[in-house]
């Protein structure tokens, strides 16, 4: 096969199978690169490696190792790009016309190639120059896939070897550094600290609508107009007592422990004794509880 156009290349290049089988089941005897990048804590002292192997993918024969020392300040994505470039440079240098499989554990990089990201111009240009059929195969990291484990090993070795080169700081590396260094301090207010003690972005991402997310944030802060105590704070003519039990002010804590809604808590949470931490531990259930206890 000759040089592919960009459109043809992107339509035919990115496969997750090889002749309807994964590469691990194919009797490949060609020389194929495994590429991997590494950096400490995802932000500094990077390294990239590509391992050229032949034979069975389950029992590869290591032929050549390519390494590149990464920058002092970097990120995993940039080092994965470096590893891909190493693999492509080797493939181009050896003028491969037979089938080649390039394996990478970076799904974000492979997806970016497929989406023609502008910051991958160098990689896409090299891919256009390839001859033969080349398959980019995603593999799961740290899953005992031999070639990937070798690439990871050599990437870590070069990352720890010597002084890093002085290179301009990339946008991706700067973003990773900022994300790693700048963190919100733990809340000092006793009520808020209890409310947010189980904060999980994974759980919060399950909230399906902006309206629900806004209600949840208001409940967590206590600044929610559905709570009688808050309505009293902004208008002291309003009664602060709980409209359901009339026992005491309807604060966050009272709302999740009101004696008039015990049965609802038992049904929704399977527990009638809740702490403020439930606001972040079980946000979906908190919203379900809110929808059944407000506006009544």
Token code pair at residue 220: 């967590």
Beta-bridged to residue 61, according to DSSP, are: 54
- Both 134 and 68 in one domain: the answer is yes
Name the one residue in this structure whose structure tokens are 């032949």.
Answer: 54
- Both 128 and 159 in one domain: the answer is yes
**pLDDT category of residue 133 using cuts at 50, 70 and 90:** confident
Could you tell me the residue range of the domain that residue 67 belongs to? 6-180
The CA distance from 122 to 139, in Å, is: 23
The CA distance from 121 to 113, in Å, is: 9
Q: Which residues 6+ apart lie within 8 Å of 123 measured at CB? A: 81, 84, 85, 88, 113
In a domain, 22, yes or no: yes
Q: Domain tally for the chain?
A: 2
**Nearest Cα to Cα of residue 28 among 127, 135, 128:** 135
- Both 13 and 141 in one domain: the answer is yes
Which of 153, 180, 207 marks a domain boundary?
180
- Both 54 and 121 in one domain: the answer is yes
- Both 175 and 200 in one domain: the answer is no
- Both 151 and 221 in one domain: the answer is no
Report whether pLDDT(177) > 50: yes
Cα 79 to Cα 8, 76, 186, 253: the distances in Å are 27, 5, 32, 48
CB-based burial label for 183 (10 Å; 0-12, 13-18, 19+): exposed
CA atoms within 13 A on the CB side of 93: 8
In a domain, 1, yes or no: no
Lowest-confidence range among 69-78, 100-109, 157-166?
Answer: 157-166
- Both 153 and 210 in one domain: the answer is no
Cβ atoms 67, 49 nearer than 8 A: yes
Which of 180, 213, 236 marks a domain boundary?
180
- Both 251 and 286 in one domain: the answer is yes
Between 79 and 187, whose confidence is greater? 79
How confident is the model at residue 250, as a pLDDT? Answer: 95
Strand (E) or helix (H) holding 79: helix 76-93
CATH number of the domain where residue 33 is located: 3.30.420.10
How confident is the model at residue 234, as a pLDDT? Answer: 94
- Both 113 and 15 in one domain: the answer is yes
CA atoms within 13 A on the CB side of 290: 23
- Both 148 and 218 in one domain: the answer is no
Between 33 and 127, whose confidence is greater? 127
- C-alpha of 282 from chain center: 22
Task: Give the 3-state DSSP-derived string for 214-247, with helices as H, strands as E and coil as C.
Answer: HHHHHHHHCCCCCCHHHHHHHCCCCCCECCCCCC
Which of 180, 198, 219 marks a domain boundary?
180
β pairing state of 44-54 and 61-69: antiparallel
- Both 135 and 30 in one domain: the answer is yes
How confident is the model at residue 295, as a pLDDT? Answer: 64
């Amino acid at each position: 096969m000759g040089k592919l156009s960009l459109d043809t290349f992107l339509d035919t290049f990115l496969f997750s199978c090889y002749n309807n089988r994964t590469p691990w089941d194919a009797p490949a005897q060609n020389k194929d690169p495994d590429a991997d990048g590494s950096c400490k804590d995802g932000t500094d002292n990077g390294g990239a490696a590509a391992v050229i192997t032949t034979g069975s993918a389950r029992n590869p024969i290591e032929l050549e190792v390519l390494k590149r020392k990464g920058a002092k300040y970097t990120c995993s994505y940039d080092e994965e790009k470096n590893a891909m470039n190493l693999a492509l440079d080797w493939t181009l240098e050896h003028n491969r016309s037979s089938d080649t499989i390039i394996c990478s554990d970076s799904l974000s990089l492979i997806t970016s190639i497929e989406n023609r990201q502008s910051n991958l111009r160098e990689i896409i240009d090299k891919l256009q120059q390839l001859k033969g059929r080349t398959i980019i195969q995603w593999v799961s990291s740290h899953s005992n896939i031999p070639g990937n484990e070798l690439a990871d090993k050599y990437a870590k070795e070069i990352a720890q070897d010597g002084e890093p080169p002085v290179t301009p700081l990339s946008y991706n590396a700067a973003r990773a550094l900022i994300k790693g260094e700048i963190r919100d301090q733990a809340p000092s207010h006793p009520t808020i600290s209890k409310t947010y003690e189980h904060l999980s972005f994974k759980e919060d991402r399950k909230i399906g609508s902006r309206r629900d997310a806004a209600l949840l944030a208001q409940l967590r802060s206590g600044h929610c107009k559905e709570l009688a105590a808050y309505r009293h704070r902004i208008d002291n003519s309003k009664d602060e007592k709980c409209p359901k039990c009339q026992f005491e002010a309807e604060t966050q804590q009272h709302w999740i422990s009101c004696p008039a809604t015990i049965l609802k808590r038992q049904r929704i949470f399977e527990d009638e004794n809740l702490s403020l931490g439930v606001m972040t531990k079980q946000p979906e259930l908190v919203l379900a509880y809110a929808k059944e206890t407000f506006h009544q």
